[in-house]
Amino acid sequence: MKRKLSLVLALIVMVTGFAGCSKKETTTDPNEKITIRWMGFPIDGVGTPDETIEKYIEEKFNVNLEPIFITYGEYQDKKAMMLAGDDIPDLIYEFDPSNVVQDAEQGFIAKISYETIKQYAPDVYNIINETEPRAWSYSRVDGENFGIPNLAYENNNVKIGLWREDWLKNVGIDKIPETIDEMGDALYKFTYNDPDGNGVDDTYGMTGAISWNAMFQDIFGAYGAMPFDWVKTEDGNVYGGLQQNTVEALTTLTNWYKQGLIHPDFITDSVSGTAKEKFANGKIGFINQLGGYYDETDKTAIQNLTKSLNPNAIVTDAHPVKGPEGKSGGFIWGSAAHIVAFGRHLEDDEVKLQKILEILNTMVSDEEVMKAVRLGEEGVTYKLAEGSESIADGIEWISPYDDSEIRNTAGIVNNFSSATFFMPVSPSFEAYEKYTLKAKIDAYNKAANGAKGTTDAFLKPDLLPSSADYFTTLRNAQIKLMVDIITGTKPIDSYMEEFTQTWEQYGGKILEEETVPLAEDIDAMLKEVVAE
């Protein structure tokens, strides 16, 4: 991935040498219908022009939209190629602060002051400030603002795992495990007490995944550990991998692996891939994540896959287990999500910029517009489900929109938590609660059982200026060391000494030094954005 990005950046540098000379100096005529080139959130990337949601926006705001649809997997590369070729849309979706920094430094995206946003999109501005004002750090480059961050409310939820409840009952456990010790006991019995009753020693308690944001999250959370994040302490911001609670969690994992409770494939498994397959096929009885509410009609949902292979299976949401000090939950992303940026040429086109801001603000301030740009038209694309009194009680799609592929091409998304292609800014939290399926919210609340997640001290751990230079290599070395510890290749007592050496070798000290000015800049930014 790094090599791929380097090639793209090399092309950017090469092309921008002459692309900058062709910078368009245009000002939109306010008397003409404005055309907006719109490159929104590529949730599916399969939209087609002139469909339901696009037509609604065009008619509602008297504009022409030119949507640019790119699949999720191709988005970063294709976006970089477009910008490098001086093909710069008016609205540009940015996934990470590092993308904003890169595009700002290359001169592709516009500076936009907080005052401008406050004037022309006041509701958007206020929603961010009331919910998570630190999100403005995502669009900040060298003390100036280059876009509008958005929010994803469901990212505030702790990750919910899944248990085979029928297995729990088969081995004599009559409740969902709630502590780390109860979890260890269940995993042991899943491994050795023939939970599926087939008389064959072919089951494990669990597997795992070694991606930094999913690695044994429940277990680290039980010890209050954040091994791959910055943790705010009285002494400043400290990297979690250097804290003692990370060692405590690793000790438990090492003991479990030694007992055979963790599938040896955890080194190569992925949560939504091979781990999901192992759970569905009855090879493991617990899986981290993938729990919470699910659509009973979705054949790909892990609950339905498991039941299709074993009709007697009972799949139940886990509770984040509590550790020795009562801690639980673990890492969460938090509500700050991505960024909406604007093409650099809009610095010279106030009419178009103001029009886009007006559209975005109306989407969050007018609930009828918000519903229309997400669900389409009631009575045409959807209706309230039988017995429902509101959208939150449930809706039914009207043919042909009962086909998910047709909804995707039309830009219809039943999600009020975060951005969509045509609505790249976030509704208020009140709107999210009002229109999100009650069963979905209730499922998460019940499973969470009071547990709260913890965000990185800077929301995203790679917000530091030198993150792109060091973090990938540093994390990979850290994960390799952790795997060696868990599998017994290296003793647990060696972790802290070895990781401290790794930390110093791969730029950790440089990153640590950058936390101080970054924290100061965020404090200064907060005073600016929340000022009356």
**329-374 pLDDT tens trace:** 999 999 999 999 999 999 999 999 999 999 999 999 999 999 999 9
- Under a CB-based contact definition with an 8 Å cutoff, are residues 77 and 386 in contact? no
d(CA 428, CA 444): 19
Q: Can you tell me whether residue 279 is helix, strand or coil?
A: helix
d(CA 432, CA 426): 9
pLDDT at 348: 97
Mean pLDDT confidence for 224-246: 96
**441-461 pLDDT tens trace:** 999 999 999 999 999 999 998
Residue 90 has pLDDT above 80, yes or no: yes
The pair of structure tokens assigned to 29 is 């005529």
pLDDT at 517: 96
Nearest to 397 by CA among 303, 302, 297: 297
Alpha carbon 28 to its chain's center = 36
Lowest average pLDDT, out of 30-39, 165-174, 224-233, goes to: 30-39
Distances (CA, A) of 295 to 10, 397, 443: 44, 14, 12
From the number of C-beta atoms within 10 Å of its C-beta (0-12, 13-18, 19+), residue 330 rates as buried
Confidence of residue 44 (pLDDT cuts 50, 70, 90): low
User: Cα angle vertex 227, ends 224, 229, to 5°?
Assistant: 100
Alpha carbon 365 to its chain's center = 24
- Under a CB-based contact definition with an 8 Å cutoff, are residues 353 and 161 in contact? no
Mean pLDDT confidence for 418-432: 96
- Under a CB-based contact definition with an 8 Å cutoff, are residues 195 and 285 in contact? yes
d(CA 413, CA 46): 13
Residue 516 has pLDDT above 60, yes or no: yes
Residue 20 has pLDDT above 50, yes or no: no
pLDDT at 531: 66
pLDDT at 30: 73
Residue 13 has pLDDT above 60, yes or no: no
- Total residue length of the chain: 532
Burial 465-497 (b: 16+ CB within 10 A, else e): eebeebbeebbebbbebbbebbbeebebeebbe
In order of their start, the domains of the chain are: 18-152+337-427 (3.40.190.10), 162-331+454-526 (3.40.190.10)
Mean pLDDT confidence for 240-249: 98
The pair of structure tokens assigned to 166 is 């029928």
Lowest average pLDDT, out of 369-378, 386-395, 462-471, goes to: 462-471
Q: What torsion do the CA atoms of 493, 496, 501, 503 make, to the nearest 10 degrees?
A: 150
Nearest to 340 by CA among 84, 16, 89, 83: 89
